[in-house]
């Protein structure tokens, strides 16, 4: 798929999400004068990071992982010499749930198909999930239901799945936000990120 075609398809996703009035989060977005967070990065990225939902800073800017969690993500990428602009970063849910609560099953159901299309367009070799919600969603999507474990057991492991464009590695990771108040988890994340280096 050519660059122009990928850009066109990703712009179409953005347009649809901007006008996603059936989402219960749409009215909050309009009321708060914030933005959906579609995703950003290389449209030919080998590694795609999938978080759960935008936070406050992300909704204000329309950019994924630009707050405290984003600084930790940048540190983790730097620790394995991966440039942020060479990966693609997005979330399952594209609008911010109020008070940074967990996304609801209904919200995941509404926004999930947009993520599915992003995966098909970008065709990453690796999908690194950030947090348990994205881990469960991605593993179920690719038929790995029986491999789902608590994230405390699954983090840093690699699972292989088939896609329409070939094989993909799914690597569950803790969400960077989990490391904000827990230095031990940050050390775990640094260790787990090393597995990504060989896919860069």
How does pLDDT run across 72-108, given as a tens digit for each residue?
Answer: 999 999 999 999 999 999 999 999 998 888 999 999 9
pTM: 0.96
Considering the four listed CATH numbers 3.40.470.10, 3.40.640.10, 3.40.50.300, 3.40.50.2300, the one that applies to the domain covering 3-199 is 3.40.470.10
How does pLDDT run across 145-182, given as a tens digit for each residue?
Answer: 989 999 999 999 999 999 999 999 999 999 999 999 88
Residues 6+ apart with CB under 8 A from 36: 14, 17, 18, 20, 29, 54, 59, 62, 94, 95
CA–CA separation, 86 vs 28, rounded Å? 32
Element (H, E) at 113: helix 105-122
User: For the chain, which residues make up each domain, given as ranges?
Assistant: 3-199
Provide the 10 A C-beta neighbour count for residue 186: 18
DSSP structural state of residue 96? P
């Amino acid at each position: 798929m050519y660059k122009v075609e990928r850009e066109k398809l990703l712009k179409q996703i953005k347009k649809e999400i901007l006008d996603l009035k059936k989402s219960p989060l749409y009215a909050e977005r309009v009321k708060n004068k914030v933005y959906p967070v579609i995703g950003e990065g290389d449209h030919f990225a080998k590694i795609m990071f999938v978080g759960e939902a935008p936070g406050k800073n992300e909704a204000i800017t329309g950019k994924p992982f630009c707050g405290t969690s984003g600084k930790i993500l940048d540190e983790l990428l730097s620790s394995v010499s991966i440039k942020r602009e060479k990966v693609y970063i997005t979330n399952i849910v594209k609008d911010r749930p109020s008070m940074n609560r967990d996304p609801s099953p209904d919200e995941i159901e509404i926004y999930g198909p947009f993520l599915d299309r992003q995966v098909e367009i970008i065709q990453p070799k690796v999908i690194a999930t950030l947090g348990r919600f994205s881990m469960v969603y991605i593993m179920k999507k690719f038929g790995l239901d029986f491999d789902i474990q608590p994230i405390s057991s699954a983090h840093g492991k690699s699972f292989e799945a088939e896609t329409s464009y070939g094989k993909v590695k799914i690597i569950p990771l803790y969400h960077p936000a989990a490391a904000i108040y827990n230095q031990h988890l940050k050390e775990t994340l640094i260790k787990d990120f090393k597995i990504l280096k060989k896919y860069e």
